Chains A and B, each alone.
Chain A
Amino acid sequence: KNQVEQSPQSLIILEGKNCTLQCNYTVSPFSNLRWYKQDTGRGPVSLTIMTFSENTKSNGRYTATLDADTKQSSLHITASQLSDSASYICVVSATPNFGNEKLTFGTGTRLTIIP
């Protein structure tokens, strides 16, 4: 069964500090992995997308890594800001041999930045 597990469920850090969010998946066959940021009550916004051959991808202060062998991804946030307070969702896509691509969503990590 395709699954995406994220940890921690929630995290509180001081403004200016760094943090790392984890995503472990058992989705197969793997196609790509995406990290989304979702502010409370708003639609998710894509941060990064990585395919099998990509190990790392950055978007400003956000850096995502992917280890396809261990089926793990991380999202590192540098020099956190109050506006980084949000839920971060890991989404993994599988491409079956026959049939459409299927997305599996993690339940997200709720990040709170405090001044």
Chain B
Amino acid sequence: DSGVTQTPKHLITATGQRVTLRCSPRSGDLSVYWYQQSLDQGLQFLIQYYNGEERAKGNILERFSAQQFPDLHSELNLSSLELGDSALYFCASSVDGLTRTEAFFGQGTRLTVV
């Protein structure tokens, strides 16, 4: 158990809908990362937050948005969902948000868009 909690574990929704994925980082970790992993694809970095502020942005679509709240949990909002958005979405957390610091991954949310 990495200490990073993601909910829900599974989500099935229809095209055009909007969903929210939630991540609770490890106790004491200030930085949260979001990743997308499509079937048989590598991890794609979406966005990083540090202590409530956006720190880095990767290949995140305009239909997607995220935020980190004062209690440090984070939410990833996916809207106008398309079939191609079906993937595993991982959240990771680290103490200081530096790449040389180990990041711990949650177990992921499997999103299926039908």
Per the 8 Å Cβ criterion, residues 78-92 of B in contact with A are 88, 90, 92
Per the 8 Å Cβ criterion, residues 14-32 of A in contact with B are 31-32
Residue A67, interface by CB 8 Å: no
Contact (Cβ within 8 A) A105 B99: no
Contact (Cβ within 8 A) A49 B102: yes
Main secondary structure of the interface of A (DSSP, over half): strand
Q: Across the two chains, which residue of chain A brings its CB closest to B102?
A: A46
Residue B25, interface by CB 8 Å: no
Contact (Cβ within 8 A) B108 A107: no
Contact (Cβ within 8 A) A43 B106: yes
The 0/1 profile, CB within 8 Å of A marked 1, for residues 41-76 of chain B is 111110010000001100000000000000000000
- Interface residue count on the B side (C-beta < 8 Å): 24
Contact (Cβ within 8 A) A101 B98: yes
Contact (Cβ within 8 A) B41 A43: no
Q: A106-B42, A107-B42 are in contact. Are A41 and B102 (CB under 8 A)?
A: no
Q: A89-B42, A89-B43 are in contact. Are A42 and B108 (CB under 8 A)?
A: yes
Contact partner of B100 (CB less than 8 A), chosen from A44, A45, A51, A108, is A51
Residue A93, interface by CB 8 Å: yes
Q: Which residues of B are in contact with A by a Cβ distance under 8 Å? A: 2, 4, 41-45, 48, 55-56, 88, 90, 92, 98-100, 102-108, 110
Q: Which residues of A are in contact with B by a Cβ distance under 8 Å? A: 31-32, 34, 41-46, 49, 51, 89, 93, 100-103, 105-108
Q: Could you list 25 examples of A-B contacts with CB < 8 Å?
A: A31-B99, A42-B108, A43-B105, A43-B106, A44-B43, A44-B90, A46-B104, A49-B100, A49-B102, A51-B100, A89-B42, A93-B99, A93-B100, A100-B55, A100-B56, A101-B98, A101-B99, A102-B56, A103-B45, A103-B99, A105-B42, A105-B44, A106-B42, A107-B41, A108-B42
